[in-house]
Amino acid sequence: MYYIKKEFEAALKDAKTHEDLKQIKASFIGKKGRVTELFKQMSYLEDEQKKEFGKNINQLKNYIENSIKRKLDEINETIKRESLDKESIDITLPARKSAFGSIHPITETIIEIEDIFKSMGFDVETGNEIEYDRYNFEMLNIPKEHPARDMQDTFYINDNVLLRTHTSPTQIRVMKEKKPPVMFISPGKVYRRDSDITHSPMFHQVEGLLVDRDVHFSDLKGVLSEFLRMYFGDVPVRFRPSYFPFTEPSAEVDIGCIICKGKGCRVCSHTGFLEVLGCGMVHPNVLRNVEYPKEYSGFAFGLGVERFAMLKHGIDNIKLFFENDIRFLKQFS
């Protein structure tokens, strides 16, 4: 029995896995194990000896069972520690860098334009992209069947509701809500059935409106010339007579071509100038429609944001802004 115990202890000492323990258990206290075999030998003993021998074998068996249990706990603990060691985090390693996004060039252009006008004292208002025909056209002096509606091919939702074709209806919304004087710009998306390399069915405009007593065309000229100087730098600015039903007189503003510096090229159709915005003195009918008192006058303007961004960054296709090609967008980060 002594030797069995010693052999068991030696075997247990070397055991490392659950499988080792299983084998040790089988070979000592399993059905054909060495301790089990000892029980069988008891039948050859005298009654007196049997009692003593049985007691000793039972003690050995209990000892083996308890030792195996303890070893099992030890092995389990080792396995757990090893797996925790493997999963541990090395906090001395350098951190993974997070990728930064960047502001979309159109949003950036709007922010720049807003900053300039805010510095002149203009507020920023928001309008509605889904708009009433009445605000988009009629109250801006463009009645139904007016030929000027052809200038802005429209997406209608029903007879009275449409996707706004310009930001000018915001003039009506703000003037209906606020008493004069008003002085604000309003950026946002507009929609037209229009698509080529410089025109997109969805694009952005910034509207501007200033209404007060004694507002003259010279104020319009001063504000817009200064704005263009602040945005594009020192470029020639030209006011050219034009027509919008909601302003009278109306003008379009050109700047000296940024690409050829006024010498004449394909982009400016060899004129040396590029049109950048529409403007004019608010038409008296519009002021009457929003019930502003007669002594008030004002000027309004509207510009295409994509056109500003294209000129500033030398981009020749408007679609690049909307394709979300990361290689293009990354250049503005």
Q: Which residues bind ligand FA5 (CB under 6 A)?
A: 152, 166, 168, 192, 194, 199-200, 203, 205, 207, 244, 247, 275, 277-280, 300-304, 306-307, 318
User: Which SS3 state, helix, strand or coil, does residue 235 take?
Assistant: coil
In the complex, minimum distance from the CB of residue 179 to ligand FA5, in angstroms, rounded to a whole number:
21
Nearer Cβ to ligand FA5, position 166 or 173? 166
In the complex with ligand FA5, which residue's Cβ is closer, 35 or 162?
162
The CB-of-307 to ligand FA5 minimum distance in angstroms stands at 4
| Closest to 296 (Cα-Cα) out of 206, 208, 175 | 175
What is the rounded distance in angstroms from the CA atom of residue 275 to the CA atom of residue 303?
10
Nearer to ligand FA5, 65 or 275 (CB): 275
E-state strands within the chain: 123-124, 130-132, 161-163, 182-191, 202-213, 237-244, 247-256, 273-282, 296-304
Q: Between residues 68 and 318, which has the closer beta carbon with respect to ligand FA5?
A: 318
Tokens of 19: 């499988």
Q: Which is nearer to ligand FA5, 20 or 114 (CB)?
A: 114
Give φ, ψ of 102 to 5 degrees.
Answer: -140, 165
Q: What one-character-per-residue DSSP string does 11-51 give?
A: HHHH--SHHHHHHHHHHHHSTT-HHHHHHHHGGGS-HHHHH
Nearer to ligand FA5, 57 or 318 (CB): 318
Q: Output 15 or 311, the one with its CB closest to ligand FA5.
A: 311
Gap between the Cα atoms of 258 and 312, Å rounded: 8
Residue 151 CB, shortest distance to ligand FA5, in Å, is 6
245: tokens are 């039903």
Residue 158 CB, shortest distance to ligand FA5, in Å, is 22
Q: Kindly report the length of the chain.
A: 333
CB of 280 to ligand FA5, least distance (A): 5
Residue with tokens 């052809």: 150
Q: Which residue has the closest beta carbon to ligand FA5?
A: 304
Tokens linked to 89: 């985090």
Residue 265 CB, shortest distance to ligand FA5, in Å, is 18
Retrieve residue 199's tokens. 């025109």
Residue 269 to residues 1, 151, 257, 266, 319: CA-CA distances in angstroms? Answer: 111, 21, 10, 5, 21
Q: How far is the CB of 190 from ligand FA5 (least distance, A)?
A: 7
Q: Which amino acid is at 217?
A: F
